[in-house]
Amino acid sequence: MHLSFWVTWSFCYLSQEAGAGAVKLEGGSPACCAAVAKLVECGIPVVGHVGLTPQHAAATGGFRAQGRTAEAALKVVRAAQALEAAGCFAVVVECVPPEVGEAVTSALTVPTIGIGAGGATSGQVLVFHDMLGLRDHPSLSTADHNSSNIGSNSSMSSTVYGAAPKFCKKFADVGAAVHAGLSQYCEEVANGSFPDAQHSPYRMAKGQSEAFEELLITEGLKETTTAAAVPGAKAAASTNLNAPSGEKAPSIPPAQPPSLEAKLPLVD
């Protein structure tokens, strides 16, 4: 009872505060279907999710295709039916053989959205990071991800493996362009060519640059040209004007510019 209350309250908050048009629950267990029914009763639209359920991947053997035996395939269909009966207005079918996606679609009266489930589902979805190659990186191997056992996680597969899942067609190679741009940025920061004058466009108001320089000299934050050239002038410049006559303020070493390593951007 308490679980149902807090689950309902959380999704109500998500729906109202985050502007979500619906929420999605993975799995077709009795507990999941009970939660779906409670949410629908409270007026919150719910989408179901069967097949590979990424949020349960740790408990189901990892990101693996589902429904690959007759019994397992039937369980996927039954789970989808249970979710529809609980009140889901649509069901996502992920990472199953095409005939399983078709069977789920035929068994339901609500639309199915396929992701790696063949072409017979009512609609299709892909993670745009995967389809645009946003997560591809030359240093990451795709060998593990492309094994026959790995399916997809709609949002985590390419984060974990560094490449799009097998069922995902790449419609662009944005990742390569991103990598090239970041590499050029790092190189120009390292060799000092960026930022240049063109990309340091802000200027002080007329006459304020000179006034600022005078303030820096007065505050002891910058040496005058004469002080820099005359031996001993630097110590004299550090005299504290508010100290008793003849007493000097503690000498403060000039700030050192940051090292090259400190300037380099951190790129993951």
Catalytic residues: 94
Task: For residue 110, give the amino acid letter.
Answer: V
- Separation between Cα atoms, residue 130 and residue 122, nearest integer Å: 21
Q: Are 50 and 62 in contact (CB under 8 A)?
A: no
What's the number of CA atoms in the CB half-sphere (13 Å) around residue 214?
A: 5
For residue 61 the two structure tokens come to 């053997």
For residue 215 the two structure tokens come to 């303030």
Q: At what angle do helices 98-107 and 70-86 cross, to 10 degrees?
A: 30
Alpha helices in 197-265 (DSSP H): 208-218, 225-229, 233-237, 260-263
Distances (CA, A) of 73 to 3, 27, 87, 103: 30, 14, 22, 9
Please provide residue 226's backbone torsions phi and psi, each rounded to the nearest 5 degrees.
Answer: -70, -45
- Separation between Cα atoms, residue 250 and residue 258, nearest integer Å: 24
